[in-house]
Chain A
Amino acid sequence: MAMEYSEKVMEHFAHPHNVGVIEDADAVGEVGNAKCGDIMRMYLKIENDVIVDVKFQTFGCASAIATSSIATDMIKGKPVSEALALTNQAVVEALDGLPAVKVHCSVLAEQAVKAALADYYRKQGREVDFCDCDTCEGGCCGHE
């Protein structure tokens, strides 16, 4: 039952973009847990509500690494409002699709972005008026 990943997934897995840590990040978000086998941690540098830099660390399978990589590409340089609109479907499409059993990785990527932005809102003293996924009940890492 070998799984087929798209070339785009393999490209991001083999050469992920924006890997690392931002030591003086304005916001950090982490989702998933080690028991389930996926953890994503996202660091944001934000100036005037624009994401000027983003880095990630991911523990997980090839699709978890690829979704993290492409999600960071998709929000880098974007206003916070646009980053908040990132959906897991957009991540899947940008990767030319994911095997059905791996779609949860794209959900995790969306959640990681939202968790980091929620951290930013809180630090700014703003009300978090979107799902920050800290309190989501998604079963094991939001598997559908």
Chain B
Amino acid sequence: MFVYADNAATTAMSPVAIQTMERALESMYGNPSSLHQKGREANLAMIDARRAMAERLGAEERELYFTGCGTEADNWAIRSAARLGAEKGKRHLITTAIEHHAVLHTMAALEREGYEVTYLPVSPEGLVTAEQVAAAIREDTCLVSVMYANNEIGTIMPIPAIGKVCRERGVLFHTDAVQAAAHLPINVVEQDIDMLSLSGHKFHGPKGTGALYCRKGIRLAPFIEGGAQERGKRAGTEALPAILAMSAAFCEACDHMEENMARVTALRDKLIEGLRTIPKCRLNGHPTQRLPGNVSFCFEGIEGESLLLRLDMAGICASSGSACTSGSLDPSHVLLALGLPHEIAHGSLRLSLCEYNTEEEVDYMLQQVPQVVATLREMSPVWYKMTH
């Protein structure tokens, strides 16, 4: 059996997205900036695609900027806010310890440029509170950036409450919604979100697509110079087939959100309940306030890369936050921020589901994962000492 359970890394494209992209590749070759009929045709398609996505976020068409990926959207939003802040002498930013590197590395770059960054610690379930944000805001704070939901442990942050605090205090609020967009209900107006990043390939759209929502009135700094595309802020001919496919995938996922959430959450909970019966394991992240598809565990006495590769041999595609899978000496910064000791964080496993997964696949994983964990524990000196 083959099971793809790494949907937080990337997803398979939906049939609708593939069809949309194929059609555009075949016939929609005009440049949206051209004045002739092929150009106008392309431009109209792009306007529709942008409007459709913006509507589903509660935004206006002109507030949505297409980018090449979620990482770019994060970089762009944070850099813009920092620049606006600096103009007013505000050089302090607030974020959390468990953000994606797209945010953390941008923050680190700003620190090297003389900005000051506060990294809010998280609870053992991976939460920050609006109170923590409120307490960290200073006179010179120019941006709060808190992810909508965490990619590794699935915890969903209290975004509306944080948005409200930021709005009241007059501080810009950005959220990296790469894991949440098209999976959770988002309304940028109701949730007081000033800027939001998303990525197309996390919701069955193509790789190489992303978008940044930026509330009207916030001056976005030009990111790429050289043309009038994206309101003159990000020059370069638009990747129209990919943009249209992202929009199609986004609309499809948003329009079936309720049923997808119910289905995927049920699969998730079955998987969590089953894996919980493995001795000496720990569910990472919040038990209920978590992404519908996220299952994250640590198994004591074993190491994540071995677990991952043994599961791969059994046909299961998963992910781990162990040092050996991150390419560094330390396990994932997210797991460490939860307060987990290194030796436990090394034994992490993430299975991320989507609406394409089936109950049979969950049953197969429930059969395979405990076996692989047991096999690796049998050869582990750490487990031997724990049990002898």
Contact = CB atoms under 8 A, between A and B. Distances in A.
Interface of A: 1, 10, 13-14, 16, 19-21, 30, 34-41, 56-62, 64-65, 101, 140, 143
Contacts of B32: none
Contacts of B329: 36, 140, 143
A38 to B, nearest CB: 8
Interface stretch (B61-69, B148-156, B301-309): B301-309
Given A36-B329, A39-B381, 19 more contacts: A1-B327, A13-B309, A14-B313, A19-B379, A20-B379, A35-B341, A37-B323, A37-B343, A37-B346, A41-B381, A56-B379, A58-B379, A58-B381, A59-B383, A61-B303, A61-B322, A64-B306, A65-B306, A140-B329
A39 B382 contact: yes
B200 interface: no
A10 B378 CA distance: 18
Contact of A61 (B324, B343, B379): B324
Nearest to B313: A14
B356 interface: no
A57 B303 CA distance: 13
19 contacts: A1-B327, A13-B306, A14-B310, A14-B313, A19-B379, A21-B384, A34-B382, A35-B342, A36-B342, A37-B303, A57-B381, A57-B384, A58-B380, A59-B302, A59-B303, A60-B303, A61-B303, A140-B329, A143-B329
Contacts of A14: 310, 313
Contacts of A64: 303, 306
Contacts of B322: 37, 61
B324 to A, nearest CB: 4
A59 B309 contact: no
B306 A30 contact: no
Nearest to A62: B309
Contacts of A34: 342-343, 346, 382
Nearest to A40: B381
State the main secondary structure of chain A at its contact with B: mixed
Contacts of B324: 37, 60-61
B381 A59 contact: yes
Interface in B304-339: 304-306, 309-310, 313, 322-324, 327, 329, 331
B239 to A, nearest CB: 24
A61 B305 contact: yes
Nearest to B323: A37
A60 B381 CA distance: 10
A83 to B, nearest CB: 20
A60 B304 CA distance: 8
A69 to B, nearest CB: 9
A139 to B, nearest CB: 9
Q: Which of B331, B346, B378 has the most CB of A within 10 A?
A: B346
Contacts of A40: 381
A59 B342 contact: no
B331 A37 contact: yes
Interface residues of B, number: 26
A59 B302 CA distance: 6
A143 B323 CA distance: 13
Given A35-B342, A36-B329, A61 B306 contact: yes
A19 B197 CA distance: 48
A14 B310 CA distance: 7
Contacts, number: 71
Nearest to B346: A37
A81 B180 CA distance: 60
A133 to B, nearest CB: 16
Contacts of B323: 36-37
A101 B327 contact: yes
A29 B379 CA distance: 15
A128 B301 CA distance: 32
A41 B301 CA distance: 14
> What are the nearest 9 A-B pairs in CB distance?
A34-B343, A61-B324, A61-B305, A57-B381, A41-B381, A37-B346, A35-B342, A59-B380, A59-B382
Interface in B348-388: 378-384
A5 B383 CA distance: 26
A57 B306 contact: no
A71 to B, nearest CB: 14
Nearest to B344: A34
Contacts of A101: 327
A41 B343 CA distance: 16
A58 B302 CA distance: 9
Contacts of B304: 61
A101 B327 CA distance: 8
A60 B310 CA distance: 13
